[in-house]
Structure 1
């Protein structure tokens, strides 16, 4: 495993990462009141390559922001679940005062190692409220269903056929919650839209994503909502050769417009810069455990293409405002579909 030091991190020049950093708005991309200090040593662990222009890249962007705020940082990338416990213990052995695991698949191992190292602070990611949270662990609750409520309005307002396709990777509980949130949005707004969800079995398999998206388009879907990582390119390819204006596709995590073509409607984007900084500030102030929920006020935003009709943009903006104000409560429903 490659484990760059903070000097190496500073030397990395990633064009996608620069673009990602530029995408954050002022209220969602801020670094909090401090985000670390010269005595804070943060070790981050990522599941994939940090130049993926996707989930790991936005994690690295947040880590770099913490470094700019004064923390000493290091990271390990491309870590598989069977290896995570060893990497966690290695980070502790190297003197990290804060260890952050970027990905909910790492939670169980993070909690286990945290219990054995009560003097080290840990930040994990979790979908929901973790039970028996160790006294030295913060969780960032990704709350994907919140963002997908907005995407339900976005997709239903874009659709002319009344059929929207959802392409996911693994049929995990958070993915079920995303589909249910879209269904709630459609019900709340009273539009006559049907969602057809499918799962490819792999968040990174572009060929399968293209196959499934093509099938959905063939069955009448004119909007494809993607909940994928590298597999997103497959949903874009499903629209290749189709007339402009005949359909739309969306992406998750980052702006993928450069790879998507003219059918790209926008993306549900995530920024961990403010959440990480806020949690680091809490730890620095002596609060060593807690839950930090993501939402439209804390790291989530729907970015829409300039080609999207103005009335659709207005509907989405109004929906986001209602969720932020508490006028709309998005239910967390992880029950299986069908």
Structure 2
């Protein structure tokens, strides 16, 4: 795997002694017979954020392990919104499949994709949009759905009768997840206190800490989030005040006692899905919702500590009711 810096230069072993090689905006080169599928990946945030971005990066690593020499991957992380179009052009000029790890890449992908009609584009966290170009797939993680389950778990785990949620940008997918988290908590305990805050930035550690401390001051002892590096602030607040977190995206139970549970939202699973189908030759431009319907690698919840048989049974019942439509949630 090759990392690329934000200016679009190859870095690491692939560059080697030859130095830096500028990526261009020309049509993606045809694959040599029997050659590897070339994949370019834009990771807007840090691949070490314990969140969405790291889950996407984990999916890349899993794909490399699975497909070996059948794929050749380049990725670039920490890309600001204003730079995404330029980075996507660079990646599309050298790769057959380009993946944007996050719904915030969608607008830029929609601009760039028509310029590279022979390149396949996939958006992890994309939503249904009639303007979607014909060479683009959007994969919906359905965060609000598993958010409802997380809210139910939080209500069962809370000792104070108060739970909280901190989101980053106040956009529909993030707000809907917060709403469903609150509904899930109320589904279990109609008297529970629910505190909801948004920092306006997925990576602002100070604001996330401030929002979590404010919730703790109102009694919250279990916190859920849709944050990236901002999660560090939530961790600081919870550690200082002795409260706990339900983590997002990936099961990391046992790595930090702050976390009593994790939701799985399948970001890495979707990265693998796009690569797998491109390798197999049956990739197609589509809008595809994932969520609980695609199985536990796509969406689930894992209780790390304190789970009773009754709690597990109730969460399984809720998941079944979500799948059947008995419980309806907002799309996200």
Q: Same fold (TM over 0.5)?
A: yes
Matching residue within 37, 42, 56 for 1:40: 37
Tell me the residue number matched to 2:236.
237
Map 1:43-192 → 2, pairs under 5 A: 43-67=40-64, 68-69=66-67, 70-94=70-94, 96-186=95-185, 188-189=187-188, 191-192=190-191
Partner Cα distance (2:175, 2:127) in 1: 13
Tell me the residue number matched to 1:12.
none
1:269 aligns with 2:264: yes
Partner Cα distance (2:222, 2:61) in 1: 35
Deviates more, 1:205-214 or 1:306-315: 306-315
Superposed displacement of residue 137, structure 1: 0.4
Tell me the residue number matched to 2:288.
292
After superposition, what is the alpha-carbon deviation per residue over 1:24-79, rounded to whole angstroms, capped at 9, x for unaligned? xxxxxxxxxxxxx8442111111123233432222222223333312221112222
RMSD: 2.8
| Residues 111/225 of structure 1: CA separation in 2 closer, same or farther (3 Å cut) | same
Partner Cα distance (2:251, 2:218) in 1: 27
CA contact 1:232–1:251 (8 Å) conserved in 2? no
| Residues 122/54 of structure 1: CA separation in 2 closer, same or farther (3 Å cut) | same
Query: TM-score, with normalisation over the residues of structure 2?
Result: 0.79
Tell me the residue number matched to 1:249.
245
1:193 aligns with 2:189: no
After superposition, what is the alpha-carbon deviation per residue over 1:284-330, rounded to whole angstroms, capped at 9, x for unaligned? 54553101222122522212112344433332233223334554332
After superposition, what is the alpha-carbon deviation per residue over 1:209-253, rounded to whole angstroms, capped at 9, x for unaligned? 22221221111222222222222232232233556xxx4322222
Partner Cα distance (2:63, 2:78) in 1: 21
Gaps of 5+ in 1: 10-36
Tell me the residue number matched to 1:222.
221
CA contact 1:265–1:308 (8 Å) conserved in 2? no
After superposition, what is the alpha-carbon deviation per residue over 1:98-133, rounded to whole angstroms, capped at 9, x for unaligned? 111111111111111111111111111345312221
| Residues 111/312 of structure 1: CA separation in 2 closer, same or farther (3 Å cut) | same
Tell me the residue number matched to 1:319.
318
Aligned length: 301
Partner Cα distance (2:241, 2:11) in 1: 47
Please state whether the residue corresponding to 2:238 is helix, strand or coil: coil
Partner Cα distance (1:187, 1:280) in 2: 39
CA contact 1:279–1:292 (8 Å) conserved in 2? no
Partner Cα distance (1:192, 1:212) in 2: 22
| Residues 138/264 of structure 1: CA separation in 2 closer, same or farther (3 Å cut) | same
CA contact 1:85–1:113 (8 Å) conserved in 2? yes
Partner Cα distance (2:99, 2:267) in 1: 12
Partner Cα distance (2:198, 2:328) in 1: 26
Partner Cα distance (1:223, 1:292) in 2: 32
Please state whether the residue corresponding to 2:144 is helix, strand or coil: helix
Gaps of 5+ in 2: 16-33
| Residues 239/111 of structure 1: CA separation in 2 closer, same or farther (3 Å cut) | closer
Partner Cα distance (1:75, 1:106) in 2: 14
Partner Cα distance (1:146, 1:291) in 2: 17
CA contact 1:38–1:72 (8 Å) conserved in 2? no
